[in-house]
Amino acid sequence: MKLEVKVIEIKGSCPVHDVGDKFDLIEGYRLQHPEGKPICMHALASLMPFYNALAKGVKPEKMGLAGKESGKLHFQCMDPVQYTDGGTAIFQVKKILD
């Protein structure tokens, strides 16, 4: 099982990620960033409730997280940008078939 996680939008200024950054979650427990860049813990905490369901074949539409793009889950990090002057990153996750 491999999930590709991609940053598709940032509200404010994220100190870790840029739009277009990608990382992979492999076999449910190994994180891999192709360029060796850091991965934000806020993003991982937001992803945790969903990754196992995706890996087991639950469709993002069934979880109410697919939006316009069928088969791709969307979530955002926990930084409340309007109060912290930080940045909220919005991610798209898709399952990669090996």
Structural domain boundaries, residue 38? 2-96
With contact defined as beta carbons under 8 Å apart, do 21 and 37 qualify? yes
The low-confidence residues of the chain, meaning pLDDT below 50, are none
- Can you give the pTM of this predicted structure? 0.87
**Helix, strand, or coil here: 86?**
coil
pLDDT at 24: 93
What does the pLDDT look like over 15-37, one tens digit per residue? 999 999 999 998 878 888 888 88
Provide the number of structural domains found in the chain. 1
The structure tokens listed for 87 are 């940045």
* Nearest residue to 84 (alpha-carbon basis) of 16, 12, 17: 12
Helix (H) or strand (E) holding 95: strand 87-96
Q: Which residues contact 74 (CB under 8 A, 6 or more apart)?
A: 8, 60, 65, 66, 67, 90, 91, 92, 93
